[in-house]
Structure formats: C-alpha cells, structure tokens
Amino acid sequence: MSKQIPLNGVSPIGLVEQKGDLWISDGDHNRMIKTNFSGKMLDSISDFDRPMHISNQDGKLYIPNYGADNIVIVDENKKIETLNLPDTLDAPSGISVVEDEIAIADFYNHRILYFDGAKWISIGEEGHENGDLYYPTDVQIFGDKIYVADAYNNRLQVFNKKGESILLIGEEEKMNASTGVFIASEKELYITDFENNKVNVYNAKGELHQTLSTGLSKPIDLIKTNNKLVVINYKGQSIVIYTKK
C-alpha cells in the first residue's frame, strides 16, 4: 500500500529522518528543508551548493555540496562548519556517518573515501569490473560493510572495510542509474532505479525479493523507518510512503 505526498517546489535528492521528521536536500534550490511525514514544511536552511545524499548523527546533518566539492556539517543550532578531508573531492554526491566512521561518494573521481576512525582509504576506481565504480551517487555504512549505489554501473556494490568488493547486486535487473541506497538490515537492501521509476529490494545474497513502482517518478533516495518505506521522487517532487498490507 502506498501514499503519495506532494512536495511542491522542491526537487528532492537526499533524505534522513531526525526526531520524527524528515530533512530533505533540495538540489535545484540549494537548500535543506525539514518536513513532517505529511509533507508540511517545518524549516529550511539555504545557501548550499547543490546538496546531495545526506547523513545525520547526534543531531548533526552531514551535507555533500556537489557544486562546491566539500562536506558541510550543520548542528541543531544551524551552526555550519566544513568537514576536513585528506584529499580533494570532485562533486561529492553522498555521505554516510556512523559513530566515528565516514564514507563519501566522490562522483567524478569514481571512488568512495572511507574513514575508519583512524585513517582514510580510497575505495574503487573508474571502471566496470568487480571493485570498480562508475559515478557512485550514494553510500551507506552498515555493520561491517559499505554499500555503494554504483549508479552508472547500474548496480549496488558491497565492500568490506578494507575496500575489497564482496558482492555485486542488481546486474540482472538492468537498472538504469541506481542512485540511492538504504540498508534496513543485512537481509533487507533497497536501491532506487532512477530512470526506470522503480525501487528494488534484495536479500543478503543479492537476490531480488521485490520491485516497487507505484507512484514513483525518478526515485532518487529512500529510508525505512517504523515499518514504513519512504521514497523521494526527484521529478515527481513528492514523497511516497509504502506500508505493508
């Protein structure tokens, strides 16, 4: 069962849940907006430079500025600082922050920059083979793995924390731009198929479990919370909430 909530005038790209509400990056309008699950706008912050797939931890939002090649951190008082990085980014498109670990999707450099709490490593290089990446757009650290939306290889790629590729998912489905990833559990992996207007759900082995398409129009990111799957439509300018029948 699904419910569609319009986000008029918003071109959503990334979303996270924070204290029962949603923060959404609005790439076309260089801002972050806060809404509730009914789509009511509660707050907004401006002056970003093409904000992308975001992350949050301890009340702080981590926002990749695709146009400015940096990551900014916004705290609950809207104080903004820039994340120090060991290397230059070229269009950061996604970030995941879990405790003291950080993973960044570095779009035009075809890699993930990963910080394990002590040191940074670079994962992947441009290409189409196992371990290669081709314009990654989103990333999520979960457990002992790093899940990458390997967007223009049209797959979800799973790495261990040494940066070794351990699983390729979704190549059979002929996705066209796999842009957003969300890992609900090791057995429940979600990926958006942007151009085909779908969301694919996989199990831990990478076997397709379900495909969703109702109400989707260029889906670009998603989260699962309280048994609801929340998907944002970039072109459709809306939120779609799926609940189990």
- Sorted by sequence, the CB contacts under 8 Å of residue 103 that are 6+ apart come out as 95, 96, 112, 113, 114, 115, 139, 140, 141, 146
d(CA 15, CA 68): 20
186 vs 195 by CB, closer to another protein: 195
Total interface residues for another protein by CB under 8 A: 27
Phi, psi of 152 (to 5 degrees): -100, 10
User: Is residue 177 a contact residue for another protein (CB under 8 A)?
Assistant: yes
- What CA–CA distance (Å, rounded) separates 140 from 158? 10
Site string for another protein, 180-219 (x = CB under 8 A): --------------xx----------------------x-
CA dist., res. 245 & res. 227, Å (int): 11
Q: Select from 23, 48, 62, 107 the one that contacts another protein (CB under 8 A).
A: 107
Q: Kindly list the distances between the CA atom of residue 240 and the CA atoms of 24, 82, 113, 161, in Å, as whole numbers in the listed order.
A: 13, 32, 31, 33
* By CB under 8 A, residue 93 contacts another protein: yes
Q: Does 67 bind another protein (CB under 8 A)?
A: yes
| Least distance between another protein and beta carbon 244 (Å) | 30
- Give the three-class secondary structure for 138: strand
In this complex, which beta carbon is closest to another protein, that of residue 142 or of residue 152?
A: 152
Which of positions 38-57 make contact with another protein (CB under 8 A)?
50
Told to check if 32 binds another protein by CB under 8 A, we report: no
Which residues make up the interface to another protein (CB under 8 A)? 11, 13, 27-28, 50, 66-67, 91, 93, 107-108, 128, 134-135, 137, 151-153, 176-177, 179, 194-195, 218, 220, 234-235
